[in-house]
Structure 1
Amino acid sequence: MAAVAKIAVENSVYHFDKMFDYRIPEDLIENAQIGCRVVVPFGQANARRQGIILGLSESSDPAEKSLKSILSVTDRAPLLSEEAVGLVFWLKEHTFCTLFEAAKLFFPAGIQVRLRPEYALASPISEIDTDRLEPEERQIVEYLSHSKDFVPWNKLLKDLGLSEDCSALTELLKAGIVLQNSGVVRQITDATQKMVRLVENAEPRKLTPKQASVLDTLRAAGCASLKELCYFSGVTPAVVNALQKKGLVQYYDMEVYRNPYAGVPTEPPKDFELSPEQKKAFQQMYAQYRAGVGGVSLLFGVTGSGKTSVFLRLIDRVREDGRGVIVMVPEISLTPQTISIFRARYGSDVAVFHSGLTLAERLDEWKRVRRGEASIAVGTRSAVFAPLDNIGLIIMDEEQESTYKSESSPRYHARDVAKYRCAYHKALLVLSSATPSIESYYYAQKGRYTLNTLPSRYGQAELPQVEIVDMNEELERGNRSIFSSKLQEALQKNLDEGKQSILLLNRRGFNTFVSCRACGHVLTCPNCSITLTYHAANNRLMCHYCGFSIPFTKECPTCHEDQVHYTGFGTQRAQQQLAELFPQARILRLDADSTMTRFAYDKKLKRFAEGEYDMLVGTQMVAKGLDFENVTLVGVLSADQALYGDDFRSYERAFDLLTQVVGRSGRGRFRGKAIIQTFTPENKVIRLAAEQNYPEFYREEIALRRAMLYPPFADLCVVGFVGSEEARVRASSVAFMQKLRQTAQRDYPEQPLRVLNPSPALIGKVNNKYRYKLLIKCRNSKRFREMMAALLTWFPTDRANNGVTAYADLNPDSIL
């Protein structure tokens, strides 16, 4: 009987992706377990590739002996659980990704490995005619002759001072003088600290007073780190080294965790009482959890209604049962306050998952959860893959946010993965929001989800008074500032009273449109079909898609007249105008440009909370999740930006953003106010957001969705086409549609489909790649996914599509 492993191989293209069979050598059978990574020979050239074992079998078929063998096993213990392996196959089917891409979602970034070339001599140097070699070749041979093992490529080049394009290695390989191997290198190694312990039954010899002091300390402590031992014994490491040479103590390495929040002080937990509304919501969700059948509950509460307090009570009960909890927030800017609350209440039982941590810190947080040392995982989208063994509860805060949907392969939505995991563990999934997605609220209304409502703010807090300002009237009065006179007065009043203000402008940069007054030329990115934005901080025009930039200029690149004109407002210009209007005010800007450094969000928001700033101006990261009692004024500088987009979700996003930012005001004991500036004050979405009237907005939006056959009444599948030649991309998108029509009519006639003709993407070119889209209204069934998988497998096999990549995205958050 031959042991066979079924392996998903890294960098396998989608149309060729499957589990490949490899024979397991006798010496690797014990280590080759499902969920472990391996190195295998792949393809006709037997290039070494990384893979992961997704299945095992035994076979007596003689043909199995001709299978290629696994070369090595990378992991000492499986990285994937039985649940994770099942989820890998689910992700492949639902997101049209490869098996290895899906499996990588479960690896912490720091544990990932790469294969690097290594070299050694094929035979002893005495058997090599070095006189016939070129100088560089001879140098390499002599260097390798002194090494017993394979030498990594980068070390070889560095030690010999050779360039990367050196051909000597290639010639030696061709001649068979040198052998090449692929070594496995882990991205981040485990952190360890040197420990010291007594050697059992060792007889102390003649000791100095300092040596005796070290032994006394160890007898009392059992073991200690070298650093601690030297500190408490008052000695240097040389004294411990002497004891080690006498055989009285021994060194060993102990793994330690790199804690990203080790130096961050923890505030004592705040005690709270649930209001009658909160108690009712808690009791209903707890009863659903205790039923032990899983399911989804929507917690719909106005801004400031105390949804977090309900979470905490629910988490307390779930932890009493010894079960794990995952808490997701949509973006890094919301994690500092969330982490602060959870660390204060649950201490080291909280592990953090988000991209703001270093690779090493993310690896160590993953290991703490994997080993059961932390049972609460808090973070952004990636936290849904936390390696908890017994999940009782998953919470998605601000569940409507677009950041829960991955825009690159695998194109999964964290909500769908959370549903899968909750079904597996019979756990409860809680979706929470003041502005739920239309789909989630629809399912709650239809009974697919349970619905719990918090209609009023917690305690004495009241919803803010909202005023809508018509900016057309401001222009008629000669006010060309981005700040209306009413907003200026309110900001001055707040400043005089020692209160704080938050201002939202959802565009970063200084000027957002640059054109020539002489010839009309618009300065655009040469790589993308997008205008450049002027950034005052670095005095450059920048593209927010590919990063292209040029120095600030007044000269037009087309007509060479000094007539380049800068218009439009971004957060940098808003900050400058604020400083001019209120020179005494302390102003903080929060956007992607001002928060590039590590923990920048945390530090700046902490300083704002402590009263170091009077005004906070920023993009949408200031609109959600923030809770500052002293903020009594919110200003929306341009409500129209969010309203008119080329997407059926434009109104939903605008309502969400406006409702959320208005909700930042008056969350404590002080009454709040909000001012929304707009050129279209008659727009109903703005009025409903000002009233915080989600039910009415939902009634209007769901009627439109039903009439236009958009989610939740149909699923959407967007097929994207990307390539460097626009004509070929367009032709390939048309060819795909024709093949779709033929395949659907012939093999899938029962599938309800509405297909819109291919068209250029909203931003037709990004980073010198042209983009087209094909929109399919469908039912996301197993048969439909089977058809799409067949089409995506066919597409690259047709030579007419060379140079064009096609991918499918089911229910994307935004249409390409």
Structure 2
Amino acid sequence: MTDKIAYVAVENALLHFDNAFSYRIPEGMPVQAGCRVAMPFGRGDSKRQGIVLGLGEEDADDLKTVSELLDDEPVLNDEMLKMCSFIKSHCFCTYYDAVKAMLPAGINYRLSLEYSVSADLGDRFYDLSDEYRRIVTIIRSKNNKVEKHHLLQELGYADSSLLDQMEAEGILFKNDAALRRIGDKTIKMIRLSDDAETLLQGMKLSAKQESVIDLLSTVGSASVKEVCYYTGVTTSVPDTLVRKNIAVYYDDEVFRVPRSSVSDKREITLTEEQQKAYDELSTLYHSDKPEVSLLYGITGSGKTSVFFKLIEQASNDGKDVILMVPEIALTPQMIAMFRAHFGDKVAVFHSALSLGERLDEYKRVSRGIAKIAVGTRSAIFAPFQNLGLIIMDEEQEHTYKSESKPRFNTKELAKFRCSYHKALLLFSSATPSVETYYYANEGRYHKHVLTRRYGTATLPDVVIADMNEEIEVGNTGVFSNILLQNIEENLDNGKQSILLLNRRGYNSYVTCNSCREPLTCPNCSISLTYHSANNRMMCHYCGYSVPYRTECPTCHSHSLRLRGTGTQRAEVEIAQIFPQARILRMDTDTTMTRSSHEKKLTAFANGEYDILVGTQMVAKGLDFPNVTLVGVLNADHMLYLDDYRSYENTFSLLTQVVGRSGRGKDKGRAIIQTYTPENPIIALAARQDYDAFYNAEIGIRKAMLYPPFASICMVGFVGENAKQTEGAAFAFTKQMTQLLQTEFTDIPLRVLGPSQAAVFKVSNKYRFKLILKCRNDSRFREMLARMLVQFSSNREFGNVTVYADMDPLSL
């Protein structure tokens, strides 16, 4: 006889035994694919939770049984379950790693051990010892249900031996419980009971009771708060009606909707060039097959207006839309614009939301209340059922790539979802990634070009300031003379300025003038950064900090000196030069609090500040018509990093930040400060000449076999012992080489390394890397997955973590 079977992916499964495990479904339990369940797992039958990947029927005599159904309805639909398998195979992670990435954190369950008092205790309570009675009293005071760790904490116990003894004596009962991290938000409602009309006949009521009944007879139901407000009664009146069975209370779910500003609703009129791009995109959108397009236009050309019209078209057709931006800083302006037009149809997805807000936005989408998701990369998991359009604004940005497991590339997930729904995927940028532009030129993507700024605006005039010449005339400060002159002119004319410095902190590093040694973090192989706000030297990797001191820890001389410049120092120095200026700083230090991005950007947009100093979060996508000057304080910072994307990233950042200037009716200017003015990337960014940059870069990529001509995969090794970690890296390489020479001889592969990672030590763990230039196809992924599974079960290197990262952000 066959039984109903659930194929379950188990939470916290190790990579080498991450499979779909078969469990028998108890009679009458309505388990569906996509639901979460609790069940015994492993030799000790410890309780675990898992996700049901599918259902079947087979002989279940030797199978364990599902203990508990955690969801009334599936949390993952058919598409999401398929995407779970896609992420597992493409990102080399477990099923549950993928599940956790897709679901909002607030919906997650945690399994916990709870104690309650036995119902049979009765009068035996009075025969118990004082300590036993104390424990029983505490548990009963907590609704007879207390989590183990909370109970131990309140009792002051180090372990549960006494509690276990009470369980053995039948005084306490121990049970596994699944607790959801965030509960649903509800409001207390009241309505008349089904028997109200009969009960009211001949019943004498007070005037206040009659007023409540009259209101409920008219509106049907209302919140208790509303009833009290409109009738002027206290809660005791509806309480009395409920006790008399004339009315009943019930809970109604309400959503925690993130607060955001709403801009003025304005009609968008497309230029002839924009209309042409829209018409082409509209045709692709209606093609009823998956399509990928690039909307490529200079900064200020009105790309947002084009895809707004496209979203409007999809909304009118009843289709769902995902719009992604790379930074939280860009979401307030975008959300304000879209909520002005689409109201509550817009849901918001980004990490600054509370857990409750993230959960409720997810539910609004899954229930069809919201039809447009706007947010950062997490918006790709919005559980829409009828996707028609996905847009990735500033598609070249590194924030679309996850750096923690599962290490997914949002572009690949967007392609997967558009393929499933036969939807249009639109990339938008003034500086598209080299790979995207290559595919558009080769015809793999469609391309639509905007060459002119919207309205009467023109590209800003750009000046390259040679900081070597500034030093020669005695200027050793952060700001060139020409930049200071332009800032002063802007202040006199009531115009605003943006200053970019892609380093936070006051000084970027601290060195000793005597022994020349930099001060580094004891946990990481990285320099400490000085922060003036708290007078501490801090590590931006592990969070270590120490008070600033003048004594060198190496040679003990008092010759420590602060070097380099961060946003804090730039803010202080510009305030000293222009004390009348109102200055706003934006970096991760000043935007850690809730809604800080929106508040600061709104204040700057309202003209409350004259100068905005910030890191790259101020460089992209922002539209302030009164900004007529942009200053780049150190254009060389990213240019000479040991990474094949350093030129591309520098060109993109400079082009984007220069494009923030002159977007209104006034002509814009930009000053780029550099110590290497002869570098062609600086000159190309100043001219905003993307095509010239691309033509030079694509030749280098082809010669060096970098994307788009090959895929890059980095295999990382992390461990507390440097020698053992290095040994693991070399052993992995040796085993992989043997596998390539026997079973996978058909795979084209170039192997670089292993070698130390760029930052060798982080949080007292040593890091090595192996770089693979490969073709990212199923055959390569099969080989690498097998290697990872075999190596993760190797006890010799059990203390070393091994992972694979396709398309890593840096090498």
Q: TM-score range by the shorter chain?
A: over 0.9
Measured in 2, the distance between the counterparts of 1:580 and 1:177 equals 72
1:742 to 738, 745, 757: 738
Q: Equivalent residue for 1:39?
A: 38
CA deviation string 1:142-169 (max 9, x = no partner) = 76699996542245336x6333545423
User: Residue type matched to 2:212 in 1?
Assistant: V
Q: 1:490 to 1:235 in 2, by over 3 A?
A: same
Q: 1:642 to 1:142 in 2, by over 3 A?
A: closer
Contact 1:125 1:141 (C-alpha < 8 Å) held by counterparts: no
The structural deviation recorded for 1:521 is 2.8
Q: Equivalent residue for 1:163?
A: 157
**What is the TM-score with the length of structure 1 in the denominator?**
0.96
2:676 to 675, 680, 698: 680
1:190 to 181, 184, 187: 184
1:408 to 397, 404, 411: 404
Q: Equivalent residue for 1:395?
A: 391
Contact 2:630 2:657 (C-alpha < 8 Å) held by counterparts: yes
1:239 to 237, 243, 262: 237
Contact 1:136 1:168 (C-alpha < 8 Å) held by counterparts: no
SS at match of 1:633: strand
Contact 1:114 1:185 (C-alpha < 8 Å) held by counterparts: yes
User: Residue type matched to 1:525 in 2?
Assistant: C
The structural deviation recorded for 1:178 is 5.3
SS at match of 2:425: strand
Contact 1:198 1:219 (C-alpha < 8 Å) held by counterparts: yes
2:794 to 764, 778, 798: 798
Q: Equivalent residue for 1:222?
A: 220
Q: Equivalent residue for 1:9?
A: 10
**1:414-453 aligned within 5 A:** 414-453=410-449
1:481 to 472, 477, 502: 477
Q: 1:609 to 1:772 in 2, by over 3 A?
A: same
Measured in 2, the distance between the counterparts of 1:455 and 1:532 equals 44
The structural deviation recorded for 1:681 is 0.2
CA deviation string 1:469-495 (max 9, x = no partner) = 100000000101110000000000010
User: Residue type matched to 1:211 in 2?
Assistant: Q
Q: Equivalent residue for 1:587?
A: 583
- Tell me, yes or no, if structure 1 residue 108 matches structure 2 residue 104: yes
The structural deviation recorded for 1:238 is 1.1
Query: How many residue pairs are counted as aligned between the two chains?
Result: 806
The structural deviation recorded for 1:135 is 6.9
**1:171-186 aligned within 5 A:** 179-186=173-180
Measured in 1, the distance between the counterparts of 2:613 and 2:407 equals 32
2:489 to 483, 490, 493: 493
Contact 1:125 1:145 (C-alpha < 8 Å) held by counterparts: no
Contact 1:511 1:535 (C-alpha < 8 Å) held by counterparts: yes
Measured in 1, the distance between the counterparts of 2:160 and 2:726 equals 42
Q: 1:207 to 1:128 in 2, by over 3 A?
A: closer
Q: 1:122 to 1:210 in 2, by over 3 A?
A: closer
SS at match of 1:646: coil
Measured in 1, the distance between the counterparts of 2:361 and 2:794 equals 45
User: Residue type matched to 2:561 in 1?
Assistant: H
The structural deviation recorded for 1:519 is 2.5
The structural deviation recorded for 1:105 is 2.2
The structural deviation recorded for 1:66 is 1.9
Measured in 1, the distance between the counterparts of 2:136 and 2:251 equals 36
User: Residue type matched to 2:37 in 1?
Assistant: V
- State which drifts further: 723-732 or 220-229: 220-229
Q: 1:772 to 1:147 in 2, by over 3 A?
A: closer
Measured in 1, the distance between the counterparts of 2:88 and 2:100 equals 12
Percent identity between the two aligned chains: 54
SS at match of 2:769: strand
Contact 1:4 1:22 (C-alpha < 8 Å) held by counterparts: yes
The structural deviation recorded for 1:203 is 3.5
Measured in 1, the distance between the counterparts of 2:199 and 2:166 equals 57
Q: 1:173 to 1:759 in 2, by over 3 A?
A: farther
User: Residue type matched to 2:47 in 1?
Assistant: R
Measured in 1, the distance between the counterparts of 2:563 and 2:148 equals 53
User: Residue type matched to 1:40 in 2?
Assistant: M
The structural deviation recorded for 1:27 is 3.1
Q: Equivalent residue for 2:22?
A: 21
Measured in 2, the distance between the counterparts of 1:266 and 1:753 equals 52
Contact 2:296 2:450 (C-alpha < 8 Å) held by counterparts: yes
SS at match of 1:105: helix
Structure 1: where are the runs of 5+ without partners?
Answer: none
Q: Equivalent residue for 1:384?
A: 380
Q: 1:311 to 1:122 in 2, by over 3 A?
A: same
**What is the TM-score with the length of structure 2 in the denominator?**
0.97
Measured in 2, the distance between the counterparts of 1:579 and 1:757 equals 48
Contact 1:326 1:376 (C-alpha < 8 Å) held by counterparts: yes
User: Residue type matched to 1:162 in 2?
Assistant: G
- Tell me, yes or no, if structure 1 residue 767 matches structure 2 residue 766: no
Measured in 2, the distance between the counterparts of 1:267 and 1:222 equals 35
- State which drifts further: 239-248 or 301-310: 239-248
1:327 to 299, 323, 328: 323
CA deviation string 1:451-507 (max 9, x = no partner) = 000011111000000000100000000101110000000000010000000000000
The structural deviation recorded for 1:20 is 0.6
Measured in 2, the distance between the counterparts of 1:14 and 1:174 equals 38
Measured in 1, the distance between the counterparts of 2:199 and 2:145 equals 43
SS at match of 2:601: helix
CA deviation string 1:376-399 (max 9, x = no partner) = 000000000101000000000000
Measured in 2, the distance between the counterparts of 1:152 and 1:312 equals 50
User: Residue type matched to 1:198 in 2?
Assistant: L
Q: 1:482 to 1:41 in 2, by over 3 A?
A: same
Measured in 2, the distance between the counterparts of 1:274 and 1:145 equals 68
